[in-house]
Structure 1
Amino acid sequence: MDTEGKVIRCRAAVAWKAGEALIVEEVEVAPPKAHEVRVKIAASGVCHTDWAYLHGAGRGMEMRPFPLVLGHEGAGVVESVGAGVTRFSPGDKVIPLFLPQCGECECCLSAKTNLCKANWSKTQQGVLADGTSRITCRGQQVFQFLGVSSFSEYTVALETNLTKIHPDALLQRVCLLGCGVATGYGAAINVAKVESGSVCVVFGLGAVGLAAVMGCVSAGAGRVIGVDVNTDKFAKAREFGVTECVNPRDHSRPVQEVLVEMTGGGADYTLECVGDVEIMRSALESCRSAWGVCVIVGWTELEEMRLRPFHLLMGRTLKGTYFGGWKSVRDVPRLVEEHLAGRLKLEEFVTHTLTLDQVNHAFQLHAGGQSIRSIITM
């Protein structure tokens, strides 16, 4: 491409300060350095984590530096590659990954985890391997959220944080596999390891929760109970395979007591997909003693979770998951192919398709519980 080796001027939604609205600005995106890839972003999902880091910064959430370009659920096309890059070529369809897979560290070499240590601490602070970002605006460095920054028309990612996908993939849909859908689906399949005929409870019926429901159904669960305070989500949840819906506000006693009674002693599997410590405790206490498994899927850094050791001593298992247990570079292309084969829903998650100029409206829809997933198209 004629832009190779040159600075690209494009638009990005910049968060100048925590808690403030994003401003769509002209930014400069530098060429990729060694082992980096510059990507033209086609679409990005708007995830709860983007909203949480914008509005939770300084209130208990680990502080990320500002100014910052958010977005970590994107998909696009390779524009150019840096020195030493052999797995990607201009024109390849790709998904940037906030979770790397270098294939060399002790975590990558272990079948027990999907975590990876490659440049982890740097991308968490919004920079790439050399300690700097590739995005500047108004003459100053703009940090890249989780090393991705998909709320920009172009971005640069480390090659370990990028995966090539099938050329037939619709980027405006498979971008959801960069975070939310992959996380919820994998939480049920890979982490809970839901068994056929089992009873499952999913707390939170947003995109991650519905993906967890999809995973439970795919695994052959006999009964899937959805829990949410927003009853507007119940119809969509039933389309995904929820058999019963529970609104905690309809009951005068703790929801875990309601669920234990409904299930005759507790669920086999519970998945917390909200990121609220009180709901996490409810999910654990909704498990059946002796063999119940509770998986924490929702992300929060704001509070500590409280629990009674008794609930673990009686045989329940409490687990957490990051990105649904998927080995990112290896497994995301497989998920794309599952979608292309008609075995993995994506279209059904999308409630709004918006432009980059409407990114703040997308956050409002999310915060108000009016969307499942909004897609920003570039």
Structure 2
Amino acid sequence: MSTPQVITCKAAVAWGAGEALVIEEVEVSPPQPMEIRIKVVSTSLCRSDLSAWESHAIFPRIFGHEASGIVESVGQGVTEFKEGDHVLTVFIGECISCRQCTSGKSNTCLKGEPVYDYCAVSSFSEYTVVHSGCAVKLSPLAPLEKICLLSCGVAAGLGAAWNVADVSKGSTVVIFGLGTVGLSVAQASKLRGASRIIGVDNNPQKCENAFGVTEVVIKCITDGRADFSFECGWGLTVTLGVPKVKLEMSARYGLLLMGRTLKGSLFWGWKPKSDLPSLVKKYLNKEIQIDDYITHNLPFDDINKAFNLMKEGKCQRCVIHMPR
């Protein structure tokens, strides 16, 4: 096998907060030990990409983390992947060998040093290099142009409802925010047998297209009495969004004494390599659906259109198709 060389390819580079991305040529280094280089096939725009792009993050930067692709080359020591494998990228790794991965109690991998790109992926590029722990091997039967949504958005809602909240049959669920994540919570809650799934959003367009919920309102109608809620409510509250500004939280002690529970969910309780293949299998078996979340399919050259659509609240997921 020949030694991988530097690849020159096109990437969408963000040069400043809120500035239009510029498609230009970049050099992608060969994979280093325990890394793989991926030819990105499809990548979708996530709200966290937009939030980081609008903030004073590190620039210049290549955003993107929900992606599917094909392994182009592997670095020294990689045995799990080979050239030609279909993969899903993930922003939280699973090396399978560190103390956290083997504990059975955590999905926070302790592998290596932090990677200063975006979410350890940077998929708004024709090629990208990731740690082998940040990729999940896919069945070649899984459609790459759709399955990329399981990198983050759809997996977020399913995991928050099933793993973190453990939504029960007959319960009432309130979902604040009817984007892809919120509607995935609705799908998961419906599959668990929730009797009422109330969607709350201040965007009329999102309310009109809120499939999977039983009721859609602009304000909460439950008087705070929901068995499960996502952002606020009574009982169990699960946080799964990315805050734009204030990272600190405070709460009245009395609320905890009354039995309210607040839970966070890093990667929503999933262990990527251990659990995501089961979600792919559910999709292939038509047990869960992904297709309806995709409202726009755009060529790579139109990536700025995807950002504008999300900024204006006119889309669920835009899937960006890379040049073949």
TM-score normalised according to structure 1 size: 0.82
The AA in structure 2 aligned to 1:259 is T
Aligned pairs for 1:365-376 within 5 A: 365-376=309-320
1:98 to 76, 91, 95: 91
Question: Is there any run of 5+ residues in structure 1 with no aligned partner, and where?
Answer: 58-62, 127-143, 249-254, 273-282
Q: Could you list the per-position Cα deviations for residues 217-247 of structure 1 after superposition, in whole angstroms to 9, with x for gaps in the alignment?
A: 111111110000112222432x32x111111
Asked whether the equivalents of residues 359 and 376 of structure 1 are also in contact (C-alpha less than 8 Å), the reply is yes
Residue 148 of structure 1: SS of its match in structure 2? coil
Q: What does residue 239 of structure 2 align with? A: 296
What is the aligned-residue identity percentage? 45
Q: What does residue 130 of structure 2 align with? A: 157
2:222 to 259, 266, 281: 259
RMSD of equivalent CA atoms? 1.5
Q: Could you list the per-position Cα deviations for residues 46-72 of structure 1 after superposition, in whole angstroms to 9, with x for gaps in the alignment?
A: 001111111122xxxxx4x32211000
Asked whether the equivalents of residues 75 and 171 of structure 1 are also in contact (C-alpha less than 8 Å), the reply is yes
The AA in structure 2 aligned to 1:88 is F
The AA in structure 2 aligned to 1:55 is E
Residue 73 of structure 2: SS of its match in structure 1? strand
Asked whether the equivalents of residues 177 and 200 of structure 2 are also in contact (C-alpha less than 8 Å), the reply is yes
Aligned pairs for 1:275-294 within 5 A: 283=232, 286-287=233-234, 292-294=235-237
The AA in structure 2 aligned to 1:103 is I
Q: Say how many residue pairs are matched.
A: 321
Q: Could you list the per-position Cα deviations for residues 191-214 of structure 1 after superposition, in whole angstroms to 9, with x for gaps in the alignment?
A: 000011111101100001011111
1:169 shift after superposition: 0.6
Distance (Å, rounded) in 1 between the aligned partners of 2:200 and 2:215: 9
Distance (Å, rounded) in 2 between the aligned partners of 1:215 and 1:305: 27
Q: What does residue 360 of structure 1 align with? A: 304
Asked whether the equivalents of residues 176 and 201 of structure 2 are also in contact (C-alpha less than 8 Å), the reply is yes
Q: What does residue 134 of structure 1 align with? A: none
Distance (Å, rounded) in 2 between the aligned partners of 1:44 and 1:339: 18
1:164 shift after superposition: 0.2
The AA in structure 2 aligned to 1:155 is T
Asked whether the equivalents of residues 183 and 322 of structure 1 are also in contact (C-alpha less than 8 Å), the reply is no
Question: Is there any run of 5+ residues in structure 2 with no aligned partner, and where?
Answer: none
The AA in structure 2 aligned to 1:243 is T
Residue 119 of structure 2: SS of its match in structure 1? helix
1:336 is the counterpart of 2:280: yes
1:345 shift after superposition: 1.0
Aligned pairs for 1:31-46 within 5 A: 31-46=30-45
Q: What does residue 27 of structure 1 align with? A: 26
Asked whether the equivalents of residues 51 and 244 of structure 2 are also in contact (C-alpha less than 8 Å), the reply is no
Q: What does residue 85 of structure 1 align with? A: 78
Aligned pairs for 1:147-296 within 5 A: 147-237=120-210, 239-240=211-212, 242-248=213-219, 255=220, 258-260=221-223, 266-272=225-231, 283=232, 286-287=233-234, 292-296=235-239
The AA in structure 2 aligned to 1:342 is K
